[in-house]
Amino acid sequence: MAYQFIIVERDGPITVITLNRPEVMNAVHSPMHFEMDQALAAFAADPEQWIGIITGAGERAFSAGNDLKYQASGGEMKSPPSGFAGLTSRFDLTKPLIAAVNGVAMGGGFEIALACDLIIAAETAVFALPEPRVGLAALAGGLHRLPRAIGVKRALGMILTGRRVSAREGYELGFVNEVVPAGELMAAARRWAGLIGELSPMSVRASKAAVMRGLDEPSLEAAIVGQRRYEAVAALFRSQDFVEGPRAFAEKRPPRWTGA
C-alpha cells in the first residue's frame, strides 16, 4: 500500500515503519494516525512479519507528538480506535515492537515509544511529556505506561514538571534499553530484532502477552494461574514451533521456526 506520511519497509521478518513528516519533526496529525493504524494492522496480520521497528525520518526528531499547529489551523484531529499513531490503544498486538528513537520524542512521540516493547535511543534523543505546558495531559498512555516502566516517583518527577530527559538519563531511569551513537541507531535496532528473530515467534508472542496482561492481574498468583487463558499462550501450545523446539534440541541442530 502507498502511504503519504509514513514509509513501510520489509526486510525478511522485520517491518520498519518510519514516521515521515520531518518538516514538522514528525508530528502526528489525523492522516498519519490512520496510515499508522493501517500499517500496524497489516503488520499484525502478516504471518511472515515477526518483529516491528518504528523510527522517525530525519536527524532531529522521532516525533514531536501531536501536531498542535495543524490542530490550531482547523485541521481535523481524529484518531482510530487503536489510539495515537494507531498504536497506543492496540492492546492485542503480541508481536514485538522496537522504538528506534533518533531525536526528540515529546508528548505523543514519547507515548509511541513507550507503547513499543523496547526503546533503543540515539545519544541525541530527548524524551518528555510536556503536555501540561500547553494545557493538555499525556492521555494516550504516557501517564500509565511511564509509571509502570520506572516507578511512580520517578515518573511523576517527569510528568509533573514536563522536564526533558536525555537518552542517557532515560537508560538510567530504566525506560531505554540501549543508547548508541546516532549513526549506529538502526544497526542497533536491527541487532535487537535479530536477537528476537533467533527465537520462536510463537514463544515470543506468548511471553509478551503473559507479561503485559499479567501486569493487570491483582496478584502474582492470579497472573500465573491466568496466563493459560491468553490466546497467544494457547496458540503456542497448538503451534508447530512448540514441537520443533524440543525436537531440534534433541537432534542437536538449529530450530526451523515457522511462527505457526
> Which position has the grid cell 515509544?
113
- Written as nine digits, the cell of 149 is 516502566
Query: d(Cα 36, Cα 7) in Å, to the nearest integer?
Result: 10
Query: Nine-digit cell at 170?
Result: 532515560
Active-site annotation, residues: 111, 131
Number of residues that make up the chain:
260
Tell me the three-class secondary structure of 15-76, residue by residue.
EEEEECCHHHCCCECHHHHHHHHHHHHHHHHCCCCCEEEEEECCCCEEECCECHHHHHCCCC
- 3-class secondary structure, 141: coil
The cell for 168 is 542517557
